[in-house]
Amino acid sequence: MKPSIPQGTRDFSAAVLRKRNFILQTIRSVFETYGFEPLETPAMENTETLMGKYGEEGDKLIFKILNNGLNNPDKREAVMQDFNAVLEGKTNKGITERALRYDLTIPFARYVAMHHGQLTLPFKRYQIQPVWRADRPQRGRYREFWQCDADVAGSAALLHEVELSLIYTNVFNKLNIPVEIHINNRKILGALATICGGEDMMIDITIAIDKLDKIGMEKVKDELIGKGLTMEQVDTVESFISISGSNEEKLVQLDELFGTIPGGQEGIAELRTILASVEKMNPSPQMVVDLSLARGLNYYTGTIFEVKALGVQMGSIGGGGRYDDLTGLFGVKGIAGVGISFGVDRIYDVMDELNAFPEGIQKGTTALFFNTGMEEQQHVLGVAENLRKSGIACEIYHEAAKFDKQFKYAERKNIPFVVIIGSKEMEAGTAIIKTLASGTQTEVRLDEMAKILAH
């Protein structure tokens, strides 16, 4: 058979992996400096843990795992019935008890709900793991991709929104990616819905205005009319998304529009507090109040974030927000949460396009020992072991091939030094170290090698 991997998945070679690890380590170290602790959860969750949390579209994209033992003749009748339910579009424990995680937030909520008795609140955790979605792959979109999440559970303080904004800023500064952090508040969108046909219209309205960039004002209005809004209400929506200017100017106009609606007031006040706080920092995050930002995930209730890379055509490279009742879905009321996520794979694509990776992250082996014969090989084995004790990565060519071949091997693996110890050097207790970049070489005593190769 022809070897292949599933659609939307990738193998990562050494060069790619070193760049990916650079991104992961940068994010991890920033998370740690803000006091977040690591957490890992299983690749699979119970299907019912995930279903119904991501909206109708999201549910369709969850990878479900077929149960084992369905061919057991004793269970044939039950399996047939369960399978018929699947054919009608229902998910069913009898067929798929487990599913691959779709994001890191719901598993986190499940974890908090399971362990809230033992956790010190607020609980700040970060999580760096792959997630899976049965999406059509395309540019910046994969079926297996990595997310880096930082969430806080058990605190309603706006301090967290401020610090999470700073985390975004610090990470993208370190990664050398120019970004805008778009921010909005679901309470404001809720207020808009309240005066435009009721709160249950919020999803329809936000989905429509989210498309403003792509389809334009007229089509947005058409869609709203299609959803049953009156002309007056559509006009209100239009004046809402027409709000422009600086962040402060936008907030002032919002005040005029929603000043009398309690939820709206609250949302505006929260935005104002967060922005005032982060703008005093140095470096100040590039925050943009984006009233068309809605985010599809159902569980957000307050602040919402989305990060866009500037100068590259790519969907958002990060997102997040506040959810006041996430663990409520798992029977534990009253634990508020807020969190952000980094999309590693898109960040990688952006950095690759912008050439933003620093020099010097491709280092692997430092020195290659040439193989000049069996006797020398035994001697070199000991020399290499000593170097490794000093933390120097080295390897020995596997056979006494022509130097030509050994040089090429070193070159292809980006190894900066070759060490040649032939019978003459073995006898004299020396080694020849050749720097490949310059072509210069010197003969040194064995006890001097570590110092030279360490630079």
Partner RNA sequence: GAGGUUGUAGCUCAGUUGGUUAGAGCGUCUGAUUGUGGUUCAGAAGGUCGUGGGUUCGAGACCCAUCAUCCUCCCCA
Kindly list the residues in this chain that would bind RNA in the complex (CB under 7 A). Answer: 4, 7-8, 55, 57-58, 103, 133, 135-143, 145, 147, 207, 210-211, 214-215, 295-297, 306-307, 313, 315-319, 341, 343, 345-346, 372, 402-405, 407-408, 410-412, 420, 422-425, 432, 434, 436-437, 439, 441
Q: Which residue type does 308 have?
A: K
Smallest gap from Cβ 78 to RNA, in A, equals 27
Query: Could you give the angle at the alpha carbon of 252 between the alpha carbons of 246 and 257, nearest 5°?
Result: 125
Nearer to RNA, 274 or 297 (CB): 297
Smallest gap from Cβ 50 to RNA, in A, equals 14
Smallest gap from Cβ 29 to RNA, in A, equals 20
Nearer to RNA, 150 or 307 (CB): 307
Count Cβ atoms below 10 Å from residue 424 Cβ, excluding itself. 12
Sheet holding 367-369, edge to edge: 394-396, 367-369, 417-420, 430-435, 441-445
Beta pairing partners, 126: 38, 150
Query: 428 to each of 369, 419, 421, 443, how far by Cα in Å?
Result: 17, 15, 10, 10
Smallest gap from Cβ 219 to RNA, in A, equals 10
Nearer to RNA, 331 or 439 (CB): 439
| Three-class secondary structure of residue 367 per DSSP | strand
Smallest gap from Cβ 9 to RNA, in A, equals 8
**Chain centroid to CA 71: how far?**
39
Nearer to RNA, 139 or 333 (CB): 139
**Residue in the block written with tokens 């050398």:** 176
Nearer to RNA, 77 or 427 (CB): 427
Nearer to RNA, 194 or 441 (CB): 441
The rounded distance, in Å, linking the Cα atoms of 220 and 145 is 32
The torsion defined by the Cα of 182, 186, 187 and 188, in degrees rounded to 10, comes to 50
Smallest gap from Cβ 77 to RNA, in A, equals 28
DSSP string, 197-234: T-GGGHHHHHHHHHTHHHHHHHHHHHHHHHTT--HHHH
Nearer to RNA, 96 or 147 (CB): 147
Query: 53 to each of 64, 132, 298, how far by Cα in Å?
Result: 15, 15, 7
Smallest gap from Cβ 266 to RNA, in A, equals 24
